[in-house]
Amino acid sequence: MVAPATAFILVFSLVPVVYGLGISFTEYNPLHRGLPEWVGLRNYADLFTQPQFGKALGVTGLFVLMVLPATVVLATALALLVDRPFRGVGAVRAALYIPNIVSLTAVSMVWLWIYSQHGLLNELLGLAGLPAQDLLHDESTALAAAAAMRVWKALGSNMVLILAGLQSIPRELYEAARVDGAGPWQRFRYVTVPGLRPILVFVVAMDIIYLAQSFAEIYVLTQGGPLGSTTTVNYLIYTSAFQYNQFGSSSAMAFVLFAFIAGFSLVSVRGILGRQR
Amino acid sequence: MAVSHHRRIAVGTAAIALTAALAACGMGGGTAEQTGSNQLTVWFPGTDPAESALVEDTLVPAFEEQTGAEVEVTYVDYADLSNKLTAAFAAGTAPDVFGHGPAAVADFVANDRLEPLQDYVDGLDQADLDDLATALPGGQVDGEQYLVPLQMQGWALAYDRSDFAAAGLDPDSPPTTWEAVRDAAAQLTVRDGDGAITRSGLLLATDPIGRQQSFATLIAGAGGELVDTADLTAAFDTPEGREALDYYVDLFNGDDAVATGLGVTYSANPTAQQPLVTDTASITLLSANAISKLAAEAPDLDLGIMQPLRFEDSDTPAAFGGAGPGLMINADSHVKDLAWQFIEYMTGADVNQEYVASFGGIPVRASAADSGYVAESPVLPAFLDAAPYFVPNPNVPGWVQARDTMDAHLEEALNQKAPTDEVLADMAAAVDDVLESSR
Amino acid sequence: MTARTIDGGRRMAAATRIALIAVAAILVLVPFAWMASIAFTPAEQAFGSISLIPDNPTTANFEAALTQIDLLRALGNSLVVALVCVAANCLVAPLAGYAFARLKFPGSGVVLLVIVATTAIPVSVTLIPLFLMAKTFPLAGGNDLFGSGGTGLLDTLAVVTIPHLVGAMNVFLSRQYFAGMGSELAEAARLDGAGEWRIYWRVYLPLARPLIAVVAIFSFTGTWDDFLWPLVTTTSQEHYTVQLALVQFNATGNVQYGPLMAGAILITLPVLAVFLLNQRSFISGLAEGGTKG
């Protein structure tokens, strides 16, 4: 029964990983007609001497840190708001979920518009009597501007997951807490939070995996600039693989990224799996 | 409730079964096409709707009529072109003919991906060779032809004549040196009460590709060059390079800056958002295509075009330009003769003129100067006058990466992260590394 | 506290809640209002227009989206690809998840852990190897048995589909879902002499509608939104998916905002429909799958 899925994942996930690991030890120019040249660990060694890669790792980490806490806290708040049924709750939930299902490219174009010189943001700032901003062209704000879009985009899916978590908390626990004289805050602190822990671990792990791979929004909004302040690892991989034809070293970058993602997310995934034993 | 569930499941199952059946058909038929003797695949760079409509609906059908060939044209956006070509070459699915900028040619040649076109070119009539004489060298690597340009390109300073008049400058005799432009720009710059610039006197491009092109224009005007093409090393860490970079950086920085909007793209914007139209700049550096568009779409703008400029200590004016994007033939194509026929067709006098007219470009043939299209254009005659002074980017392997490396360093200089002499030295070392590893 | 103030307090709380929900929904939806506004604004006044309601609303952008590019064909392609992936995922993932939850076999924990771990593999790790594997796929696209000579699966709809056929996350969610259902039903059915297959198909799967909704939505949206993989593996326009078709309006230096946004709305509607139809099951399915166990 597990054979079809396992075989598939073996062939289409694990084989490519091994294959890719092999590529990362070679100098491989796809335009070149000869075979890739084996260079051992040189691609990896080079990464540590190139300041761009270290910087891109930092940018990627910072991006995750900017988006993750904000989106989880806001999504939890939204989930609490739409947890109890009311007329039109389905429509509201769907509305909040929409950002998640519109393609990232199209959504990024809308935000490009919002941030533009005469865009929504500057119109609002103007109404408030504040000076216009050019967030995407300022080294100190560009990454935050991209992160704000991503918070908005990730909100819906996180909210739905957390909502699911809320609904799996047995109502009796709340009743019991109420009988024990717990107020709203105490019920939240001692019933809701522990009840949500497994789903939060799941949400955090999945968000780390997706956010650490940010590419499309960077590509549309900033192309990695200004001054490399939004060049994420995946953006760097993309340019070195497809603009400079360096499949070997870009595979090496991808594996280092993989190690970081796996390190940070495996801890939390284990949290869920460990719980059920 | 239960009923509706069942119905939904039934409908869903039917839909899935139907789709699976459709998919089976679709996949069965979806094998790669074998290129027959009269089938030609062509990738064009760019996505201008007027251009692609002309090519797909008029030019290609006429070619098919003439030759009996079947041509499949695909337009690929510049941003996606490199990765699609890389993937397609790795896969063996690359088209017979494809377009790209001259900057990419040397890398393809270094990897033996292009058919040498020298024999085909040598077979042209002398009259055609003379007519194409300014264009062809831009598609050569080590003296051998690999790309035939479809258009010429050039960059020039476009200016608002009414701004000049209002500032007491003569719009009919614009400056001829960069120093004089800078003086004019100081008079044209407008500031608000806080001293912030609201209208740039002289705006050069500072977006990622634009930075390298602006610098190329300036260093050419200073009498310097970017790369020594003989020994493939950086050639800009010189007094000329220093003069060009200092000039560029000072436009945007310091108390007497004449430009604002560092890093913001303007050159690729639609006409309505061009700084000259929104009155946020009085002089901007633009391509011939962009200026043609301005002239056509902003009739209220009193547009002037300057000839290439020089610095006072240099003898010859110069600007970034030369051969533009063109067509190449895949070395693995099975229909190379047909592919060449297509290139010849696209560079024929009438067809080429119709083609460049669809986006306001400069025709590839010198004889087009006498044509109605050029003569009637308010823009193109100025570019044909300037043609002898255009300097292209070098065709050396690794150029795309070298260009991006330069760009990153130029950005640092513009943002004053380091002094210009330091930036030039670092930039030269980095570009040397790239060129050496691509040799 | 009197009953009255409690009542008043509750009403206040309810009003605050509704107000907060309204504010949140508006904030989330403003960019979409913008998107719709751009889609209905005539091209010549589009960029930088700040009026949310266009002065001269037009449907020209929708016509452009449907005629300038072959969006209908791309919609058809994406629909075929997405539905095949939905069908495959709904067949295979719950089956595997059930087996991991119910039937302990030697090494099942390790296998499950490995499957879950594959969700952390960045696309950038597998993109190039998968591409090369597709190129050397035996006996397809002119290839011989050893995968050389032709172009393999490249530039087909099959190659766009295959990597999405089974999602590791779907297997994991299914496992969680079935683990949460308990084993009593299986034991009862076993007493009646039913085999494992029968127990799965007749007892557990019919109860797993919410799970199917989750798997369907995840696999549909995942396939529908994929951009980089179809970009590098397809070359001819007849195999373009919706995302590839749409970026033709997002050309360097020539962004056609109106048709782009109109097209984005058109390609979002199917996903939105899938979500709305299954919203309730989706959330309860996630509640079972993601959190219990």
Domains and CATH numbers, chain C: 62-98+153-291 (1.10.3720.10)
Q: Is position A111 within any domain?
A: yes
Residue of B nearest to C154 (CA): B32
Beta-carbon separation of B31 and C141 below 8 A: yes
One domain, residues B315 and B386 = no
Q: Is position B34 within any domain?
A: no
pLDDT at C42 over 90: no
Query: What is the structure's pLDDT at A10?
Result: 87
Q: What is the mean pLDDT of residues C153-162?
A: 88
One domain, residues B215 and B262 = yes
Among B168, B191, B205, B170, CA closest to B306: B170
One domain, residues B344 and B309 = no
Q: Is position A236 within any domain?
A: yes
One domain, residues B122 and B215 = no
Q: Is position B193 within any domain?
A: yes
Number of structural domains chain A divides into: 1
pLDDT digits (tens, 9 = 90+) for C51-104: 667 777 888 889 888 887 788 899 999 999 999 999 999 999 999 999 998 887
Instruction: Give the mutation candidate from B5, B25, B31 for the C interface (greatest C CB count, under 10 A).
Output: B31
One domain, residues B299 and B354 = no
Q: Is position A4 within any domain?
A: no
Query: What is the structure's pLDDT at B18?
Result: 39
Contacts of C83 (CB under 8 A, 6+ apart): B15, B16, B19, B20, B23, C220
Q: Is position B386 within any domain?
A: yes
Query: What is the structure's pLDDT at B68?
Result: 93
Cα–Cα distance, B86 to A247 (Å, whole number): 10
Q: Is position B11 within any domain?
A: no
One domain, residues B240 and B303 = yes
Domain extent for A87: 52-275
Contact residues, chain B, for C248 at CB < 8 Å: 47, 75, 77
Query: What is the structure's pLDDT at B9?
Result: 40
Mean model confidence pLDDT for chain C: 82
Which residue in the set A33, A137, A241 is minimally distant from B112, CB to CB?
A: A33
Which residue in the set C122, C165, C271 is minimally distant from A8, CB to CB?
A: C165
Query: What is the structure's pLDDT at C54?
Result: 74
Higher pLDDT among residues C280 and C132, named by residue: C132
pLDDT digits (tens, 9 = 90+) for A56-66: 999 999 999 99
One domain, residues B169 and B99 = no
Exposed (0-12), middle (13-18) or buried (19+): which is A266, by Cβ within 10 Å?
Answer: middle
Task: Number of A to B CB contacts under 8 A, please give it.
Answer: 52
One domain, residues B301 and B429 = yes
Q: What is the mean pLDDT of residues A89-94?
A: 80
Q: Is position B30 within any domain?
A: no
Query: What is the structure's pLDDT at C32?
Result: 85
A122, A140, B279, C29, C46 from A117: Cα distances, Å: 7, 17, 14, 21, 14
Pairing state of beta strands B319-323 and B390-391?
Answer: parallel
Query: What is the structure's pLDDT at A271?
Result: 61
All partners of chain C with 3 or more CB pairs under 8 angstroms:
A, B
Contact residues, chain A, for B193 at CB < 8 Å: none
Contact residues, chain C, for B16 at CB < 8 Å: 83, 86-87
Q: What is the mean pLDDT of residues A166-172?
A: 86
Secondary structure class of A161 (helix, strand, coil)? helix
Exposed (0-12), middle (13-18) or buried (19+): which is B276, by Cβ within 10 Å?
Answer: buried
Beta-carbon separation of B111 and A243 below 8 A: no
Q: Is position B126 within any domain?
A: yes
Which residue in the set C86, C131, C231 is minimally distant from B80, CB to CB?
A: C231
pLDDT at C4 over 70: no
Cα–Cα distance, B294 to B301 (Å, whole number): 8
CATH classification of the domain holding A70: 1.10.3720.10
Positive or negative, the Cα torsion across B19, B22, B26, B27? positive
pLDDT digits (tens, 9 = 90+) for C236-267: 788 899 888 887 777 766 677 888 889 888 88
Contact residues, chain B, for A141 at CB < 8 Å: none
Beta-carbon separation of A31 and B86 below 8 A: yes
Which residue in the set C141, C155, C247 is minimally distant from B77, CB to CB?
A: C247
Instruction: Give the mutation candidate from A27, A118, A222, A244 for the B interface (greatest B CB count, under 10 A).
Output: A244
Query: What is the structure's pLDDT at B22?
Result: 37
Query: Picking from A228-242, B251-265, C147-161, which range would have the lowest pLDDT averaged per residue?
Result: C147-161
Query: What is the structure's pLDDT at C5?
Result: 59
Contact residues, chain C, for A81 at CB < 8 Å: 17, 20-21, 24
Query: What is the structure's pLDDT at C283?
Result: 76
CATH classification of the domain holding B277: 3.40.190.10
Report chain B's C-alpha Rg in angstroms. 25
Query: What is the structure's pLDDT at A244?
Result: 86
Cα–Cα distance, B311 to A66 (Å, whole number): 47
CA atoms within 13 A on the CB side of B316: 13
Residues lower than pLDDT 70 in chain B: 1-36
Query: What is the structure's pLDDT at C253?
Result: 63
Number of structural domains chain B divides into: 2
Domain extent for B350: 39-151+324-391
Instruction: Give the mutation candidate from B82, B423, B426, B438 for the A interface (greatest A CB count, under 10 A).
Output: B82
Residue of B nearest to A219 (CA): B79
Exposed (0-12), middle (13-18) or buried (19+): which is A14, by Cβ within 10 Å?
Answer: middle
Q: Is position B32 within any domain?
A: no
One domain, residues B62 and B181 = no
One domain, residues B91 and B126 = yes
Closest CA of chain A from C188, distance in Å: 21
Instruction: Check CB contact of B415 with chain A, cutoff 8 Å.
Output: yes
Cα–Cα distance, A32 to B90 (Å, whole number): 8
Query: What is the structure's pLDDT at C51?
Result: 65
Closest CA of chain B from A187, distance in Å: 35
Q: Is position A233 within any domain?
A: yes
**B141 strand-pairing partners:** B144
Q: Is position A184 within any domain?
A: yes
ipTM more than 0.85? no
Encoded tokens for C93: 């993932």
One domain, residues B263 and B114 = no
Query: What is the structure's pLDDT at B3?
Result: 37
Q: Is position A42 within any domain?
A: no
One domain, residues B317 and B331 = no
Beta-carbon separation of A31 and B108 below 8 A: yes
Q: Is position A198 within any domain?
A: yes
Among C74, C56, C57, CA closest to C65: C74
